[in-house]
């Protein structure tokens, strides 16, 4: 199975943020679930949480294996991890018909092309219920300026691998969110120069 050291490092601070922002018994769609570690960890901690993992086709097999092995036991009371969905943000027919209290994605914006990030925001706006939240975790620039030397180096590394990747600009993401009916609610600092951008559907 896939394993992400980054998930182990950031799961506790993200959990604390989710406890602050999610309503009780929230239904959450995760974009880019990867190894599935976040889905399992949060569902083992937050009572009543309904977590819908998703990812692109090439990652789905490993994700489904972890959910099958670890996502059915040891969960918090009334919590549930659903079978993962195939979801490519660039395919409009991949988005589920259900409505969610929140859409969450960690460390995905910088590995997507800029157009795909806007498609993620547009899709999230469509599946969020009234007052629903979009939460984007990761490193971000501000007006084209990096917030740390390590983020600048990370950005250069990503672009050397693929010019379409790179640390995204929080201000640009905010403009995309506004264009799709999502209002900026918070920009919360996280450990190791990461942040969580939080938007709400009116």
Residue-wise pLDDT for 14-28, tens only, equals 999 999 999 999 999
The domains of the chain are located at: 5-201
Looking at domain 5-201, does it have CATH number 3.40.640.10?
no
Please name the residues in contact with 16: beta carbons below 8 A apart, sequence gap of 6 or more.
none
Whether the predicted pLDDT of 197 surpasses 90: yes
Q: Is 115's pLDDT higher than 90?
A: yes
Give the mean model confidence (pLDDT) for residues 106-127: 97
Residue-level pLDDT at 192: 93
Give 2's pLDDT tier (boundaries 50, 70, 90): confident
Backbone angles phi, psi at 19, to 5 degrees: -60, -30
- Residue 45 is predicted with a pLDDT of 95
Residue 6 clears pLDDT 90, i.e. is over it: no
pLDDT of residue 3: 76
Q: What's the pTM?
A: 0.96
Strand arrangement of the beta sheet that strand 182-190 belongs to: 80-81, 50-52, 27-30, 100-106, 128-138, 194-201, 182-190
Classify residue 22 as left (phi > 0), alpha (psi -120 to 50) or beta. beta
Question: Residue 148 pLDDT > 80, yes or no?
Answer: yes
Which pLDDT tens digit goes with each residue over 35-77? 999 999 999 999 999 999 999 999 999 999 999 999 999 999 9
């Amino acid at each position: 199975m896939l394993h992400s050291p980054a998930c182990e490092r950031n799961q506790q601070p993200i959990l604390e943020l989710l406890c602050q922002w999610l309503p009780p018994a929230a239904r959450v769609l995760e974009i880019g679930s990867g190894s599935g570690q976040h889905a399992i960890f949060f569902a083992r901690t937050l009572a009543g949480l309904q977590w819908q993992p998703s990812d692109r086709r090439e990652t789905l097999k490993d994700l489904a294996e972890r959910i099958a092995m670890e996502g059915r036991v040891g969960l918090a009371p009334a919590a549930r991890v659903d079978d993962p969905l195939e979801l490519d943000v660039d395919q409009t027919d991949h988005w589920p018909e259900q409505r969610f209290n929140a859409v969450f994605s960690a460390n995905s914006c910088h590995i997507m092309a800029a157009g795909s990030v806007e498609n993620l925001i547009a899709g999230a706006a469509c599946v969020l219920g009234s007052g629903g939240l979009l939460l984007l975790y990761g490193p971000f620039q501000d007006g084209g300026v990096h917030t740390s030397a390590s983020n600048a180096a990370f950005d250069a590394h990503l672009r050397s691998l693929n010019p379409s990747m790179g640390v995204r600009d929080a201000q640009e993401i905010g403009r995309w969110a506004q264009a799709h009916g999502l209002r900026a609610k918070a920009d919360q600092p996280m450990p190791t120069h990461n942040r969580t951008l939080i938007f709400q559907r009116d």
